[in-house]
């Protein structure tokens, strides 16, 4: 996520979309054409001629799972850097700019030598706190920082700000955005049908001739983003630590946005090495959905993407597997949130055959017609809102989580026991045929509706390909329909063991109160709204907020129904926040 208002909203919306879980796709197969270029890059195409536009995107098969200690967060940093332009886009004089960037790298190398000394001093106990904080800066660092500021100011005179966006916008394109997660980094946009060649040229240029301009200042932007998204969020900082506790050996245990000490020290040299390894065409899949001629698209792909050389070597395989958890793990936190219980187990990766039974199981438990709501809310009255179940099958491993907010007067222990009782019931009593078939039919119908959107179809092609196999788009319906009551019992017995439980208890921090408008939202929609509202409070620039509002308004039509109330609340608060900022600005004038 970058420091542009519309992109902030876009990534948040994308998080909501992905949070719905892997879709099931309609019974009729999506006619996908696949072509692989000589350099190893793959192109997926789906023709849809109902309107003269094309949704296009590409996914680099790299996420935070491919990072190592010392450079955590670099995959997400690249999401920012890939919008900085090329040798011809975003600059007035690339040759002069390159000279300045080389000098910046040299100054930064000297700064890193100073930071190495500070790290050693901290280990000896001679200084405390963050080595990058102002109180720990040495006179030499202050000199180097001033020199770097001078060079950055010089470079800014040569930069054409946001020109990559502007070229697209001037040609009628919309929705330029990207996201990074544990397994992938995905870029996408919608262009008019007569601008397909522009898309191929623009996207191939930023792969063939990228310029990581403003690298060090953008790294600072990412660090600030982490403060806003994680460290200033009342729940996100605890969820981050819960995730690190949950994953032991597989590299999902560090956050996508990276650890602070790593984000603040990544160098351009490391970035160049990372790009050469993971942004080679043999590690990328592109996709088009919309009004185009496949023969023309293939010819353009060969002309533009085909000129990018294959990587010198294939990206290294991620071989570390999650070790078996031998004993239940627990965590508790006091936060500015409603009291809540979360229970999480390790399950299976995206291509595993048991994924389908786990998806159906989540549907059996979810929603106001699901078992958790009926038991904990309607029957026992010990939970409030809407309890949830969430099956997450990622590329290398998976998890399953259930959770519920406590009703007034009830304890964490009561709710935990009630949640586990529903799991025990599934373990010991086969699900009835009618209940099971109803859930499976709803899953197919819901995903059919979602895939009417070109945008969602594009995303699912790219996401499925990155997680293991885009053919899941067409194969999943039959596999979901094939799930039996016996399969449900088997996966519950296999994965939901007492030893593998990871339990989080949230208690309300003394002196804090629940936002009354948030109280009406449910499950992950509430969590997403809470996070977006926390970010709104950090925005001080009326222009940035105006862009965020425009992005929210444009995104409403794409949001799943269950998330629309959350977006409506955020949009209302954003408008109120804009009025406050404009009023303050007027008073100052």
The answer to whether residue 43 is domain-embedded is: no
pLDDT at 12: 44
Which among 508, 542, 575 is the end of a domain?
508
Q: In the predicted model, what is the mean pLDDT of residues 394-418?
A: 96
Q: Closest Cα to residue 503, out of 233, 323, 245, 254?
A: 245
Which among 508, 533, 567 is the end of a domain?
508
| Domain harbouring 432, CATH code | 3.30.830.10
The answer to whether residue 181 is domain-embedded is: no
Name 329's Cβ contacts closer than 8 Å, sequence gap at least 6. 245, 246, 501, 502, 503
Residue-averaged pLDDT of the chain: 89
CB distance 234 to 534 below 8 Å? yes
- From CA 351, how far away is CA 360, in angstroms rounded? 16
The answer to whether residue 570 is domain-embedded is: yes
* Residue 27 φ then ψ, to 5°: -65, -40
pLDDT at 228: 84
- The band of 516, judged by pLDDT with boundaries at 50, 70 and 90, is confident
User: Based on the domain organization, do 504 and 543 belong to the same domain?
Assistant: no
CA 346 and chain centroid, separation: 20
pLDDT at 11: 43
- The band of 307, judged by pLDDT with boundaries at 50, 70 and 90, is very high
Decide if pLDDT at 263 tops 70: yes
pLDDT at 522: 65
- The band of 83, judged by pLDDT with boundaries at 50, 70 and 90, is very high
Per DSSP, the residues of 410-442 read --HHHHHHHHHHHHHHHHHSPPPHHHHHHHHHH
C-alpha dihedral, 79 to 193 to 35 to 452, nearest 10°: 80
- Helix (H) or strand (E) holding 506, with range, is strand 502-508
Whole-structure pTM value: 0.85
User: Based on the domain organization, do 354 and 400 belong to the same domain?
Assistant: yes
Q: In the predicted model, what is the mean pLDDT of residues 52-76?
A: 97
pLDDT at 442: 86
Q: Closest Cα to residue 447, out of 23, 21, 18?
A: 23
In the numeric block, the tokens 């949130």 are attached to 337
pLDDT at 540: 73
- Where is pLDDT greater, at 588 or 208? 208
Rg (CA), the chain: 25
pLDDT at 581: 79
Q: In the predicted model, what is the mean pLDDT of residues 508-530?
A: 71
Q: In the predicted model, what is the mean pLDDT of residues 87-94?
A: 96
Condensed to tens digits (0 to 9), the pLDDT of residues 6-56 reads 344 444 444 444 433 333 334 578 999 999 999 999 999 999 999 999 999
User: Based on the domain organization, do 342 and 444 belong to the same domain?
Assistant: yes
Per DSSP, the residues of 322-362 read PPPP-S-EEEEEEESS--EEEEEEE---TT-TTHHHHHHHH
Q: In the predicted model, what is the mean pLDDT of residues 240-269?
A: 95
Per the structure, the count of domains in the chain is 3
Condensed to tens digits (0 to 9), the pLDDT of residues 158-208 reads 999 999 999 999 999 999 999 999 999 999 999 999 999 999 999 999 999
Decide if pLDDT at 153 tops 80: yes
- From CA 374, how far away is CA 377, in angstroms rounded? 6
User: Based on the domain organization, do 429 and 497 belong to the same domain?
Assistant: yes
The answer to whether residue 28 is domain-embedded is: no
User: Based on the domain organization, do 370 and 502 belong to the same domain?
Assistant: yes
The answer to whether residue 16 is domain-embedded is: no
pLDDT at 586: 56
- The DSSP output letter for 377 is I
User: Based on the domain organization, do 475 and 357 belong to the same domain?
Assistant: yes
CB distance 530 to 337 below 8 Å? yes
Cα separations in angstroms, 145 against 77, 137, 217: 21, 10, 12
Q: Closest Cα to residue 78, out of 205, 204, 185?
A: 185
- From CA 521, how far away is CA 272, in angstroms rounded? 44
User: Based on the domain organization, do 377 and 452 belong to the same domain?
Assistant: yes
Cα separations in angstroms, 374 against 138, 303, 383: 61, 58, 10
Decide if pLDDT at 544 tops 90: no
pLDDT at 509: 82
The answer to whether residue 559 is domain-embedded is: yes
The answer to whether residue 356 is domain-embedded is: yes
- Where is pLDDT greater, at 210 or 509? 210
Decide if pLDDT at 427 tops 70: yes
Condensed to tens digits (0 to 9), the pLDDT of residues 360-386 reads 999 999 999 999 999 999 999 999 989
User: Based on the domain organization, do 553 and 480 belong to the same domain?
Assistant: no
CB distance 89 to 164 below 8 Å? yes
The answer to whether residue 379 is domain-embedded is: yes
Beta bridge partners of 55: 190, 289
- Where is pLDDT greater, at 587 or 340? 340
pLDDT at 432: 95
Which among 139, 158, 177 is the end of a domain?
158
User: Based on the domain organization, do 435 and 363 belong to the same domain?
Assistant: yes
Q: Record the tokens describing residue 87, joined without a space.
A: 């040798």
User: Based on the domain organization, do 483 and 553 belong to the same domain?
Assistant: no
Decide if pLDDT at 5 tops 60: no
User: Based on the domain organization, do 402 and 503 belong to the same domain?
Assistant: yes
User: Based on the domain organization, do 427 and 483 belong to the same domain?
Assistant: yes
Say what percent of the chain tops pLDDT 90: 73
- The DSSP output letter for 91 is B
Largest pairwise CA distance in the chain: 74
Using DSSP, state whether 402 is helix, strand or coil: strand
Decide if pLDDT at 269 tops 80: yes
- The residue segments making up the domain with residue 432 are 337-508
pLDDT at 19: 39
- The band of 513, judged by pLDDT with boundaries at 50, 70 and 90, is low
* Residue 389 φ then ψ, to 5°: -130, 140
- From CA 209, how far away is CA 110, in angstroms rounded? 28
Q: In the predicted model, what is the mean pLDDT of residues 78-97?
A: 96
């Amino acid at each position: 996520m970058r420091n542009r208002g519309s992109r902030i909203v876009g990534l948040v919306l994308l998080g909501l979309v992905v949070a719905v879980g892997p879709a099931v796709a309609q019974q009729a197969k999506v006619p996908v054409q696949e072509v692989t270029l000589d350099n190893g890059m793959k192109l997926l195409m789906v023709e849809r001629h109902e309107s003269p536009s094309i949704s296009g995107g590409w996914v680099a098969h790299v996420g935070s799972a491919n990072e190592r200690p010392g450079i955590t967060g670099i995959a997400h940093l690249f999401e920012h850097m890939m919008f900085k332009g090329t040798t011809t886009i975003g600059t007035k004089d690339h040759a002069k700019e390159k000279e300045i960037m080389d000098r910046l790298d040299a100054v930064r190398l000297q700064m890193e030598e100073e930071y190495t000394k500070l790290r050693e001093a901290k280990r000896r106990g001679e200084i405390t706190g963050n080595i990058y904080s102002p109180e720990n800066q040495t006179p030499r660092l202050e000199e180097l920082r001033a020199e770097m500021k001078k060079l950055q100011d010089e470079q800014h005179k040569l930069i054409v700000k946001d020109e990559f966006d502007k070229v697209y916008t001037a040609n009628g394109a919309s929705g330029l955005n990207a996201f990074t997660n544990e397994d992938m980094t995905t870029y996408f946009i919608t262009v008019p049908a007569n601008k397909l060649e522009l898309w191929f040229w623009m996207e191939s240029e930023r792969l063939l001739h990228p310029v990581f301009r403003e690298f060090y200042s953008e790294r600072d932007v990412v660090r600030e983003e982490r403060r806003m998204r994680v460290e200033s969020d009342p729940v996100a900082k605890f969820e981050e630590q819960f995730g690190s506790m949950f994953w032991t050996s597989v590299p999902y245990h560090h956050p996508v946005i990276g650890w602070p000490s790593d984000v603040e020290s990544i160098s351009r040299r490391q970035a160049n090495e990372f790009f050469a390894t993971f942004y080679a065409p043999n590690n990328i899949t592109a996709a088009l959905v919309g009004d185009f001629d496949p023969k023309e698209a293939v010819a353009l792909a060969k002309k533009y993407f085909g000129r990018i050389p294959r990587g010198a070597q294939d990206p290294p395989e991620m071989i570390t597997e999650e070790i078996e958890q031998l004993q239940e793990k627990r965590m508790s936190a006091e936060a500015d949130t409603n009291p809540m219980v979360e229970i999480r187990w390790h399950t299976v990766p995206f291509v595993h055959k048991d994924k389908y039974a786990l998806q159906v199981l989540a549907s059996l438990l979810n929603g106001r017609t699901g078992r958790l709501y009926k038991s904990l809310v309607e029957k026992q009255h010990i939970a409030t809102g809407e309890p949830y179940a969430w099956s997450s099958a990622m590329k290398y491993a998976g998890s399953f989580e259930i959770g519920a907010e406590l009703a007034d007067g009830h304890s964490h222990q009561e709710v935990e026991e009630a949640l586990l009782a529903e799991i025990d019931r599934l373990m010991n009593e086969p699900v009835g045929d009618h209940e099971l078939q109803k859930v499976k039919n709803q899953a197919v119908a819901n995903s059919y509706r979602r895939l009417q959107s070109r945008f969602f179809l594009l995303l699912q092609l790219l996401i499925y390909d990155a997680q293991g196999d885009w053919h899941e788009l067409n194969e999943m319906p039959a596999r979901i329909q094939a799930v039996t009551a016996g399969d449900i019992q088997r996966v519950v017995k296999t994965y939901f063991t007492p030893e593998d439980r990871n339990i989080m208890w949230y208690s309300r921090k003394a002196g804090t109160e629940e936002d009354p408008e948030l109280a009406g939202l449910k499950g992950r929609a509430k969590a997403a709204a809470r996070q977006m509202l926390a970010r709104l409070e950090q925005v001080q620039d009326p222009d940035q907020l105006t862009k965020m509002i425009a992005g929210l308004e444009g995104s409403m039509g794409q949001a799943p129904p269950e998330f629309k109330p959350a977006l409506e609340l955020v949009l209302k608060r954003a408008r109120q926040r804009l009025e406050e900022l404009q009023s303050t600005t007027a008073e100052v004038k």
